[in-house]
Structure 1
Amino acid sequence: MAMEEATAGDRLDVVLFPWLAFGHMIPYLELAKRLAARGHTVTFLSTPRNITRLPPVPPHLSPRVRLVALPPATVEGLHEGAESTADVPPEKNELIKKAVDGLAAPFAAFLAGAAAGGRRPDWVVVDFCHNWAPAIAGEHGVPCATFQIVPASFIAFFGSRSANAAHPRTSPEDFTVLPEWCAPSFPPGITYRRHEAEWWFATSKPNASGVSDMDRMWEMMESTRFAIYRSDDEVEPAGAGVFALLSDLFHKPAIPAGILLQPELDSHHDDEPARPEVLQWLDKQPSKSVIYVALGSEAPLTATNLHELALGLELAGVRFLWAFRKPTGMSTASGTDAGEPLPDGFEDRTRGHGLVWTGWVPQVAVLAHDAVGAFLTHCGWGSTIEGLVFGLPLVMLPFVVDQGLIARTMAERRVGVEVARDDGDGSFGRDDVAAAVRRVMVEEGGKVFATNAERMKRVLGDQRRQDQYMEELEGYLIRYKDTNTPTVRNGISTR
Structure 2
Amino acid sequence: MGSKFHAFLYPWFGFGHMIPYLHLANKLAEKGHMVTFLSPKKALKQVEALSLFPDNIYFYYVTLPHVDGLPVGAETTSDLPNSSKRVLADAMDLLRGQIEAEIRDLKPDLIFFDYVDWIPEMAKELGIKSVSYQIVSAAFVSMFLAPGAELGSPPPGYPSSKVALRGHDANVYSFFANTRKFLFDRVTTCLKNSDVIAIRTCAEIEGKNGKQLEDRWNNWLNGFEPCSVVYCAFATHLLFGENGYAYILCSNQRISINIVTSSNYSKTFMLTILSHQSVGCFVKHFRFGSMWETLVSDCQIVFIPQLADQFLTTRLLTEELEVSVKVERDETTGWFSKEGLRDAIKSVMDKNSEIGSLVKRNHEILKETLVNPGLLSGYADTFVEELENPIFKQCGMVD
Q: Does the C-alpha gap of structure 1 residues 316 and 476 become closer, same or farther in structure 2, counting only changes over 3 Å?
A: farther
CA displacement at 1:203 relative to structure 2:
6.9
The question of whether the paired residues in 2 share the 8 Å contact of 1:293 and 1:376 is answered with: yes
Work out which structure has the larger RCO, using CA pairs closer than 8 Å and 6 or more positions apart in sequence: 2
CA displacement at 1:457 relative to structure 2:
1.2
CA displacement at 1:151 relative to structure 2:
0.8
Please give the alpha-carbon distance, in whole angstroms, between the structure 2 residues aligned to 1:113 and 1:137. 13
CA displacement at 1:234 relative to structure 2:
2.1
The question of whether the paired residues in 2 share the 8 Å contact of 1:15 and 1:43 is answered with: yes
Residue deviations 1:388-428, cap 9 Å, x none? 02243211111111111111111111111111111333322
Please give the alpha-carbon distance, in whole angstroms, between the structure 1 residues aligned to 2:357 and 2:59. 45
| C-alpha RMSD of the superposition | 2.8
Counterpart for residue 299 of structure 2: 392
Please give the alpha-carbon distance, in whole angstroms, between the structure 1 residues aligned to 2:178 and 2:303. 24
CA displacement at 1:276 relative to structure 2:
4.5
CA displacement at 1:67 relative to structure 2:
1.0
Q: State the SS of the aligned residue for 1:362.
A: helix
| TM-score, length basis structure 1 | 0.72
Q: 1:283 aligns with which of 222, 229, 246?
A: 222
Q: State the SS of the aligned residue for 2:374.
A: helix
- Give the number of aligned pairs: 389
Q: 1:187 aligns with which of 153, 156, 160?
A: 160
Unaligned runs of 5+ in 2: none
Counterpart for residue 131 of structure 2: 145
Q: 2:187 aligns with which of 206, 217, 237?
A: 217
The question of whether the paired residues in 2 share the 8 Å contact of 1:395 and 1:437 is answered with: yes
The code of the aligned residue for 1:461 comes to V
Counterpart for residue 312 of structure 1: 248
Counterpart for residue 433 of structure 1: 341
The question of whether the paired residues in 2 share the 8 Å contact of 1:74 and 1:99 is answered with: yes
CA displacement at 1:324 relative to structure 2:
3.1
Please give the alpha-carbon distance, in whole angstroms, between the structure 2 residues aligned to 1:324 and 1:202. 28
Please give the alpha-carbon distance, in whole angstroms, between the structure 2 residues aligned to 1:371 and 1:459. 24
Considering only CA atoms, is the larger Rg found in Structure 1 or Structure 2?
Answer: 1
Q: Does the C-alpha gap of structure 1 residues 32 and 440 become closer, same or farther in structure 2, counting only changes over 3 Å?
A: same
Is 1:198–2:190 an aligned residue pair? Answer: no
Q: Does the C-alpha gap of structure 1 residues 214 and 380 become closer, same or farther in structure 2, counting only changes over 3 Å?
A: closer
CA displacement at 1:183 relative to structure 2:
6.6
Residue deviations 1:362-394, cap 9 Å, x none? 111101112222211111223222110224321
Counterpart for residue 263 of structure 1: 209
Runs of 4+ that moved beyond 6 A: 358-361
Q: Does the C-alpha gap of structure 1 residues 163 and 317 become closer, same or farther in structure 2, counting only changes over 3 Å?
A: farther
Counterpart for residue 132 of structure 1: 118
Residue deviations 1:19-43, cap 9 Å, x none? 0111101111111112212222211
Is 1:159–2:69 an aligned residue pair? Answer: no
Unaligned runs of 5+ in 1: 1-6, 115-119, 167-179, 206-211, 236-258, 270-274, 328-357, 487-495
Q: State the SS of the aligned residue for 1:27.
A: helix
Q: Does the C-alpha gap of structure 1 residues 138 and 196 become closer, same or farther in structure 2, counting only changes over 3 Å?
A: same
Is 1:451–2:397 an aligned residue pair? Answer: no
Is 1:372–2:279 an aligned residue pair? Answer: yes
CA displacement at 1:66 relative to structure 2:
1.1
The question of whether the paired residues in 1 share the 8 Å contact of 2:77 and 2:85 is answered with: yes
